[in-house]
Amino acid sequence: MPRPAEFVGWLSLRGGVAHSAEARAAGFTTQAMVSAVQSGRVSRVRRSWLVLPGVDERLVRAISAGGRLTCVSAAARRGLWVPPHDELHIAVKATASRVPRDGVIAHWSSGPAPVGRYASEDPIVNALFHVSECMPREEALTVWESALRRGAVSLEALRRIDWGSSRARAIVDACSTLSDSGLETIFRSRLTPFGVAIRQQIWIDGHPVDFLIGESLVVQVDGFEHHSSAADRRRDIAADARLTLLGFTVLRFDYQQVMFDWPMVERTVLAAVAQGLHRGAPSRR
């Protein structure tokens, strides 16, 4: 007969959370589970869920609310870029009742991937589906491209999925694997409607640039943690000087400007285009 210690070990291998029905199917008795709870090594959530100490608090909250983690909450747990949010996003059955309202956003629709009856978290495909349905297009696109950068899913796989959603399909069509950061995705997304010819991660003189507009307007965007040292700053100054001497116009914007002073960024880029600074073919030695 399995002992409480063996049950704790089994639970640990499952990420520290499981439904009691799964434990019984694995051969553990009710007494083994009760003993593990009484020993203080396991906690019980909603009577039927068993959780080890240290399990991500978001998972515990999702289970407590009667759902599974999804949307931006699941994306954040996977380390993806997500917009600031305070609410917990959970997926619930269409027949679910008594779903908490305070601090919880419930997603009632189903994603394209089947989910196990006792899953505590949505698979990445379903999480992205809910992101596309829940978030504004720009933010959703940024989350999706973050998933691509992290290797959580491939663009080829996303394109083959039957999403059953025009919003999700539009995000797939707009996705690129070229952005090195969420900030680059946001910059590209906000500039695209103006119809300017913008390319990403173009190599010039043996070095990559974030964006090349036309033939000669370079735009670099610096992330939130950019310039962690004076050496980094000097490197960028040297890179900008090198590009200028090659005949390029270089515009550089930081995180605060792109995220919180976009009108200034937009005016600057469009003014440079209006002046024809994107035209011409600089020397590329």
Q: Among positive and negative, which fits the CA dihedral 128, 92, 99, 49?
A: negative
pLDDT over threshold 60, residue 146: yes
63-92 pLDDT, tens digit per residue, is: 999 999 999 999 999 999 999 899 999 999
Q: Tokens 């507009």 correspond to what residue?
A: 213
Who wins on pLDDT, 270 or 282? 270
> How many other C-beta atoms can be found within 10 angstroms of the C-beta atom of residue 23?
22
Whole-angstrom distance, CA of residue 134 vs CA of residue 105:
10
Q: What integer pLDDT is reported at residue 285 of this predicted model?
A: 45
Average pLDDT over residues 170-187: 92
Long-range CB pairs of 269-278, under 8 A, 24+ apart, other chains included = 269/191, 269/196, 269/213, 269/217, 269/219, 270/194, 272/213, 272/217, 273/196, 273/213, 273/214, 273/217, 277/216, 277/217, 277/249, 278/196, 278/197, 278/213, 278/214, 278/215, 278/216, 278/217, 278/249
Comparing CA positions, the residue from 215, 214, 201, 200 lying closest to residue 246 is 215
Whole-number average pLDDT of the chain? 91
pLDDT over threshold 70, residue 137: yes
Range list of β-strands (E), the chain: 17-19, 43-45, 49-51, 68-69, 88-91, 104-107, 198-204, 207-213, 217-222, 249-254
Who wins on pLDDT, 146 or 4? 146
Q: What integer pLDDT is reported at residue 241 of this predicted model?
A: 95
pLDDT over threshold 60, residue 225: no
Q: Among positive and negative, which fits the CA dihedral 38, 41, 47, 49?
A: negative
